[in-house]
Amino acid sequence: MSVTAEKVAEVLALSEQDRAYLARQLIASLEDTVDADAGAQWNEVVDRRSREIEQGKVTCRPVEETVRNFRAGLPARRQPS
């Protein structure tokens, strides 16, 4: 089954509450495909990065600066025609 423009338009015409419900259901349907070990892997990364910060191996930047730099590097969004 393919998603058609008509299906997308129909879904987008739903109320905000119905779209939110549908979004949660779609995300939940993908959870079976998530790597079961992902949580443990992220914990290892967090622990390693925390040690690097504590040991002075890396420096931190304010989140606002990081987000600003990230957004500046994104291509401009195309405007709908």
Does residue 50 sit in the same domain as residue 28? no
DSSP reduced 3-state for 1: coil
Higher per-residue pLDDT: 22 or 79: 22
Does residue 25 sit in the same domain as residue 43? no
Does residue 20 sit in the same domain as residue 49? no
Domains held by the chain: number? 2
80 has pLDDT over 60: no
3 has pLDDT over 70: yes
Q: Please check whether residue 81 lies inside any domain of the structure.
A: no
Q: Please check whether residue 79 lies inside any domain of the structure.
A: no
* Mean pLDDT score across all residues of the chain: 87
Confidence of residue 77 (pLDDT cuts 50, 70, 90): low
Q: What tens digit of pLDDT does each residue of 31-54 get?
A: 777 677 888 899 999 999 999 999
Find the domain containing 26 and state its range: 1-34
DSSP code for 37: T
Distance between CA 13 and CA 62 in Å, rounded? 39
Does residue 28 sit in the same domain as residue 42? no
From the CA atom positions of the chain, what is the Rg in Å?
Answer: 20
Does residue 20 sit in the same domain as residue 48? no
Q: Do residues 10 and 19 lie in contact, with contact meaning Cβ atoms separated by under 8 Å? A: no
64 has pLDDT over 70: yes
